[in-house]
Amino acid sequence: MMRGGMGNMQNMMKQMQKMQKQMGEAQEKLGEQKIEGTAGGGMVTITMTGHKEVVEVKINPEAVDPDDVEMLQDLVLAATNDALKKVEELTNNTMGQFTKGLNLPF
């Protein structure tokens, strides 16, 4: 009986190693993804990676009003938050497949 238990443990360890490798590959692919967040009907666009690194900021010249810098700041903030929300959704969809059914407390 002890022998079967060790075989099951070894099999489980192999499965865990395989899952860790798959998780690492999924994380790497997330980093390669480019996600855009927008605000003001496309007046400001923020592009970030799946690792939440901002890689590009586009501001439509029509959005720049020297008398209303606060509005431009609000648009940049809203576009950044939009991009972050989309990255979170992508991360949850991608990485959630590894934690499904594990009944983890978080």
Q: What is the DSSP string of 9-64?
A: HHHHHHHHHHHHHHHHHHHHHHHH-EEEEEETTTTEEEEEETTS-EEEEEE-GGG-
How far apart (Å, rounded) are the C-alpha atoms in residues 42 and 60?
A: 8
Model pLDDT for residues 39-71, shown as the tens digit of each residue: 999 999 999 999 899 999 999 988 778 788 899
First and final CA of the chain: distance in angstroms? Answer: 35
Into which CATH architecture does domain 34-100 fall? 2-Layer Sandwich (3.30)
pTM of the model: 0.69
What pLDDT does 21 receive? 87
How far apart (Å, rounded) are the C-alpha atoms in residues 80 and 38?
A: 8
- Rg over alpha carbons for the chain, rounded to the nearest Å, is 21
Structural domain boundaries in the chain: 34-100
